Structure 1
Amino acid sequence: MTNWLFMSTLAIILAMVYGWAFKVLPGERWQIICAIPVKKRADGSWQGLNLTYYGLFNAMALGAAVALVLVLTGASGVAPGVFAAVMATLLGCCLPASRIIARWVEKKPHTLSVGAASFVGIVAAPWLVLLMEAIAGRWMAIRFESMAVVAALMVGYALGEGIGRLACISYGCCYGRPIAATPPLVKRYLSWATFTYSGGTKKIAYAHQLEGQPIFAVQALTAVLYTTSALAGSLLFLHGRYAWAFFLCLLVTQGWRFVSEFLRADYRGDRKISVYQIMSLITIPYGLMIPLLFPFVGGRQPDLLAGLRQLWNPAMILFLQVLWIIMFVKTGLSEVTGSGLTFHVNRDRI
């Protein structure tokens, strides 16, 4: 009962957030949070550094994903130190990869890709967990269910990427095709699922001149599918079905990544099947073999309340805050847009 209550509450909160976000984020108002003056110009104005909602929603997505992983691993009896070590190491690999691989694929210096980061994470996570298991067992006499950690990471990833689609909506990237250019089935059954973007600094406007046109809302569909898989995967996890939770989130996220790129209009490389799609196809058979590395040991049933108590810990809260700040700074400082600022005194208020 507790598991269902927790997941139902989370689902209701996310549904309300998504309902608001899908309605307002395509608007021009929801791209730039603020501009910081950094250098004065000859004309007396200031050159501004833009902070974006793209960074804010990415930071929220990472915070939610890591918090969910913490709750799930805590519910399965994984020590907080093991959790923190795994997350810090994994993010240390994935965050640089999101830029390096995207630059290689798209031949652009100021870009990043969650698909690239997820590929590296899915490939590296099992081996990282095996390494942590060996270190923790040998040097600290700590034992934990390795498959539980891998499954929790996959479930958290699904939630994080689902919420992270809000960042793409606000920035106008990862956008779908004009609804008139979508396949017949999409036009027939999903013609109502559209965004109409406004604002010349949105990527969809300057990259493909699609401002003001009805665009298939592929980011919204991705957010709903991934979030639903994360919630269902969490329930499976909390009932001790670690491998099934892992399989569900793996197949939904990577399968949809392959399919959804055929519905997108943004540049993903010069091939008909992009490098990101190839990565997603590779991760599916690779992921299906992962449980073979972690034979199920059995033991205690996951305890959601224990996981929530682990989250309500000053050290873990600070850890989440640090990750939030790092992600916001890393992805929120816009390198593509600029601004000019002027200041004046309101004489009528002196």
Structure 2
Amino acid sequence: MNEWLFLLSAALLFSLLIVLGWRFLPGDRFQMLATVPVRRRDDTHWHGVNFTWYGLLLATAAVIGIIFVLILTRAAGQALTPMLTLLLLIVGLCVPAAHWVARLVEKKHHTFTIGGAFFCGLAATPPIILLINGGCLLLDVPLLHTQVVMAALGIGYILGEGLGRLACLSFGCCYGKPLHQCGRFATFLFDRVAFVFTGATKKAVYEGGLAGVKLVPIQGLTCLLYTATALVACHLFFQGRYRSAFLLSLLVSQVWRVISEMLRADFRGFTAISAYQKMGLAAIVYGGVLCLLFPQPTLPLPDIASGLVLLLDPFLLLGLKAIWFALFLHFGHSMVTGATLSFEVRQNRI
């Protein structure tokens, strides 16, 4: 019963976020969150740095994913300290990898790729787990069960990326093709829920020249599919079906990555089949090999109450807030937009 209450509460919260995001985030109002003056331009104007809703939403989605990983692994009896170490190492790898892979594939210096970051994280996680388990043996700390941890990480990833697509709605990136290019069936399906971007600083406008055009709502579809899959995978996890939970998260996310890129109009590299699609296919093969290498552990069924107790730890909550703030500064500091500010005194209020 506790499991269903947890999943139902999460489903209601995520549904509310998705509905509100689908409704409001494509609008001009929800791209820039704040602007900070940094350098005087002349006597009356300043150059400003923009902080975006993209950064706020992406940081929030990432922390929600991390929280789910911690709740699930603690519910399954995994030690907290090794898990925190693992998560810090993965975040420390994936955040810069989001830049490195995008720079390598797209030849751009001021962009990110979650797909590339995921591929790097997936490839590196099993060796990192083995390294941490070696330290656990030396310190006489319980070992991490690779299959359990990989399942929780798969769920945290697909949930974080799913909710993170709301950030793409705000910035107008990862945009779909115009409906009129996709045939009558696509128009029939998506005409009423298509996204329309109009602001000059939205990526679909300044990169794609698609101002005022109805686009396939690829960000919203990804958000719905990924969050629903994460909740189903959570149910499998609570049933002790760790391999199934991992494979479901991996297959849905990577198969959809391959398919969804056919419906996207943003720049994805210089080849017909993008590097991200190839990474998605390689990730499926690699994940299947991992399932063969690491056996399904025989453990008691996860206890959701044991996992939720984590949320009462003030030091953990402070750490999560610090991670959120660091991610917000990193991804929220806009590198492709600028601002000019002016200030005045309201004479009628003196």
> 2-side partners of 1:25 and 1:258: how far apart?
25
User: Match of 1:301, SS?
Assistant: coil
The answer on 1:196 being equivalent to 2:230 is no
Question: For residues 1-350 of structure 1, what are the structure 2 equivalents within 5 Å?
Answer: 1-350=1-350
Aligned pair count reads 350
Structure 1: which amino acid aligns with 2:177?
R
Structure 1: which amino acid aligns with 2:75?
A
The normalised TM-score by structure 2 is 0.97
CA shift for structure 1 position 124: 1.2
User: Match of 2:207, SS?
Assistant: helix
> 1-side partners of 2:265 and 2:144: how far apart?
44
> 2-side partners of 1:91 and 1:196: how far apart?
33
CA shift for structure 1 position 109: 1.1
> 2-side partners of 1:296 and 1:17: how far apart?
35
CA shift for structure 1 position 185: 4.1
CA shift for structure 1 position 114: 0.5
> 2-side partners of 1:183 and 1:264: how far apart?
14
> 2-side partners of 1:199 and 1:189: how far apart?
25
Q: Percent identity, aligned pairs only?
A: 41
CA shift for structure 1 position 300: 1.7
Contact 1:218–1:264 (CA under 8 A) maintained in structure 2: yes
**Stretch of structure 1 that moved more, 125-134 or 245-254:** 125-134
Contact 1:77–1:144 (CA under 8 A) maintained in structure 2: no
Contact 1:76–1:145 (CA under 8 A) maintained in structure 2: no
Contact 1:73–1:152 (CA under 8 A) maintained in structure 2: yes
Contact 2:76–2:300 (CA under 8 A) maintained in structure 1: yes
> 1-side partners of 2:271 and 2:347: how far apart?
59
> 1-side partners of 2:222 and 2:286: how far apart?
22
Contact 2:73–2:307 (CA under 8 A) maintained in structure 1: yes
1:183-242, Cα deviation, whole Å (9 max, x unpaired) = 554234333330011210011111111111111100000000010111111111111110
CA shift for structure 1 position 182: 1.7
> 1-side partners of 2:196 and 2:264: how far apart?
15
Contact 2:191–2:214 (CA under 8 A) maintained in structure 1: no
Q: RMSD of the TM alignment (CA)?
A: 1.2
Contact 1:70–1:311 (CA under 8 A) maintained in structure 2: no
User: Match of 1:215, SS?
Assistant: coil
1:78-121, Cα deviation, whole Å (9 max, x unpaired) = 11101110000111111111101101111111111101101111
Contact 2:177–2:264 (CA under 8 A) maintained in structure 1: yes
Structure 2: which amino acid aligns with 1:315?
F
User: Match of 1:196, SS?
Assistant: coil
Contact 1:133–1:146 (CA under 8 A) maintained in structure 2: no
> 1-side partners of 2:43 and 2:251: how far apart?
56
Distance change in 2, residues 1:183/1:315 (3 Å)? farther
> 2-side partners of 1:22 and 1:282: how far apart?
31
1:147-199, Cα deviation, whole Å (9 max, x unpaired) = 11111001000000001001100000000000111255423433333001121
Q: Which structure 1 residue ranges, 5 or more long, are not aligned?
A: none
Contact 1:80–1:310 (CA under 8 A) maintained in structure 2: no
**Stretch of structure 1 that moved more, 46-55 or 297-306:** 297-306
Q: Which structure 2 residue ranges, 5 or more long, are not aligned?
A: none
**Stretch of structure 1 that moved more, 180-189 or 200-209:** 180-189
Contact 1:129–1:150 (CA under 8 A) maintained in structure 2: no
Contact 2:195–2:215 (CA under 8 A) maintained in structure 1: yes
The normalised TM-score by structure 1 is 0.97
> 1-side partners of 2:206 and 2:271: how far apart?
22
User: Match of 1:345, SS?
Assistant: coil
CA shift for structure 1 position 261: 0.3
